[in-house]
Amino acid sequence: MSDYYDVLGVAKDASQDQIKKAYRKLARELHPDVAGPDAEDRFKDVSRAYEVLSNPEKRQSYDMGHDPSAPGGGAGGGFGFQDIFETFFGGGQAQRGPIPRSRRGQDALVRLDIDLSEAAFGVRREIQVDTAVVCGTCSGSCCRPGTSPRTCDVCGGRGTVQRVARSFLGQVMTTAPCAACQGFGTTIPEPCAECAGEGRVRSRRSVAVEVPAGVETGTRIRLTSQGEVGPAGGPAGDLYFEIRERKHEKFLRRGDDLHCTLEIPMTAAALGTVLELETLDGVESLDLRPGTQPGQVLTLKGLGIGHLQASGRGDLNVHVEVQIPTSLDDEQADLLRQLSVLRGEERPEGHVSSAHGGVFSRLRDKLAGR
């Protein structure tokens, strides 16, 4: 017997809310439309575990060493605790009457990969998705064209049947779903050949999705009623697009701000210069003042990522890295010696600066948002 608590990843004393939360998380991850056909068996195991543990009576039976989901795992023709509960406390009354054949479809989850520039500005995408749609042959009726459902001969359209069972309380009348029509109250004598009586078929279709500026990895965009059509042409569930942002080769994103590293020669840092910098908005001029220091951060306002729920954009932060030459010819070395003499640096004296100031603290504070 499978360990259903282990399948759902919950403790044996888990509450119903914890069980439901664990199931929903695993169902989203393992749904065949998301994880592919390889996860189908695991998805079925998770669904079977939830079916047992979400039902107090089945869970109690399981905890006592009996698997209610196994073949022959029901109460059979005898009389079980559930029957007693329904009979004396009215639990079965809500189940009387035919079950609607048409039901809401499941939600669908599709991963959507986007570039950094699409996250910055937003984008409209046409995505091909595979979902269940209404059968075009029977229009969701489940029947072969020209035919219709037939009232069940066993239950007379009620969807339930009554039976008399003996218990320690005496002879008791119970109500159960009709086995002949599975509780629907009707049967399909001639199922539609196209959908095999399901009222829906799987099809690939194109869906337009508007990706707003400011989304990031993990953001979900919901399209209402664009998911799986339900059995018998029931209302469609919702379609979710989960964003995954591709890494950029030059820019690092932190929130709505962008960061990049600019390498400049030491002469440009000392003398200052104007450089052309490639940004998401195109080429921008960057004015480096004389005496630019290694680790200095130059901020270009409004050139970052668009805010998801507000106007405006984040900033682009340029971290300056000064390149020190590793090899000099004789002429270059002589010029630097002359410069050191002019600056009185023939014999420079180094000193240790405070750990609470300078380049490293500025960079740390910038990345921390302080």
| 178 annotated binding-site participant | yes
Other Cβ atoms less than 10 A from the Cβ of 292: the count is 21
Instruction: Find out whether 143 is annotated in a ligand binding site.
Output: no
Q: For residue 272, is it left (φ>0), alpha (ψ between -120 and 50) or beta?
A: left
The reply, when asked if residue 260 is annotated as ligand binding, is: no
Cβ contacts of residue 25 below 8 Å, gap of 6+?
none
Alpha-carbon distance of 2 to 10, in angstroms, equals 14
- 181 labelled as ligand-binding? yes
List the binding residues. Answer: 135, 138, 152, 155, 178, 181, 192, 195
List the binding residues for Zn(2+). Answer: 135, 138, 152, 155, 178, 181, 192, 195
